[in-house]
Amino acid sequence: MRGVIWDLAEEGYLAVAADYMRKIKGDYKRSLFAWHCEKDVTAALEIVEREPLVDRERIATLGFSQGGVFSLLIAAAVPEKVKTVVAYYPVTDFEHWLYDYRRTNPMQRAVFRIIRWYFRKESGARTEEEFRVKLKNASPLHHLNKIKASVLLIHGELDRSAPVDESRRLYERLREAGIDTELTVIPGAGHVFNFKDPQQATTAWDATLRWLYHHTRQ
């Protein structure tokens, strides 16, 4: 993330990287369910707003994978404060992603059973019903009516961790809601492609900078 924020700084942006953690049994640890109340969601934003150099009318959120999910959730939590969002390969509907019964590959089904078990353990849910509620609360697609910011979604065509349909569904719903949105699909790219393939990374980053320039400087 240091490389990302330095790249943004070189373009004239004040950039902050947030590493969300929560306290569990006296110790701080990373968690897939880092946010259990609204103040957790806005904590980093409050720090940014205290910086004198920040223009509060032109705040953007940007994230990769889980960070992409968080960037969308921040925009939904405080729609009056976030002007635009760039989300790279996010899971937008965790319930659909974890319980997609269309998967026919036995190995893939087994892997996702383990992932569901781990997610439920991390969530602290005591029942299946409570777990489903937590999944919806963590899913940007279920907060669509709160998002007012423009949204750029960037996704790898061959992403197997978070299939490109995760972004496509959100993109279509945002368009239907009249939100200014674009979906950039990177051909032949998998998950976290921009940290692996320089050419694909350049294509995606150029699209990111164009979007940020258009939506924060004009």
> What is the mean predicted confidence (pLDDT) over 146-152?
97
Band the pLDDT of 44: cuts 50, 70, 90: confident
CA distance 85 to 74: 9
Q: Is the pLDDT of residue 30 over 70?
A: no
Q: State the Cα angle at 123 between 39 and 168, rounded to 5°.
A: 80
Q: What is the pLDDT of residues 198-216, one digit of tens each?
A: 999 999 999 999 999 999 9
Give pLDDT, residue 108.
84
The larger pLDDT score, comparing residue 148 to residue 37, is at: 148
Q: What is the pTM of this model?
A: 0.91
> Does pLDDT of 192 surpass 90?
yes
Q: Within a 10 A sphere around the Cβ of 174, how many other Cβ atoms?
A: 22
Q: Dump pLDDT digits (tens) for 163-177.
A: 999 999 999 999 999
For CA atoms 123, 41, 165, 174, the dihedral sign is positive
Three-state secondary structure call for residue 64: strand
Length, in residues, of the chain: 218
Question: Which tops the pLDDT comparison, 4 or 40?
Answer: 4
In 122-136, which positions are buried (b, 16+ CB within 10 angstroms) versus exposed (e)?
Answer: bbebeeeeebbebbe
Instruction: Give me 147's structure tokens.
Output: 């998002």
Q: What is residue 38's predicted lDDT score, i.e. its pLDDT?
A: 63
What's the pLDDT at 92? 96
What SS3 class is residue 181?
strand
Residue 48 reports pLDDT greater than 60? yes
The better pLDDT of the pair 42, 72 is held by 72
Residue 28 — very low, low, confident or very high, per pLDDT cuts 50/70/90?
low
pLDDT score of 6: 95
Please give the pLDDT value at position 27.
66
Residue range 63-78: average pLDDT? 92
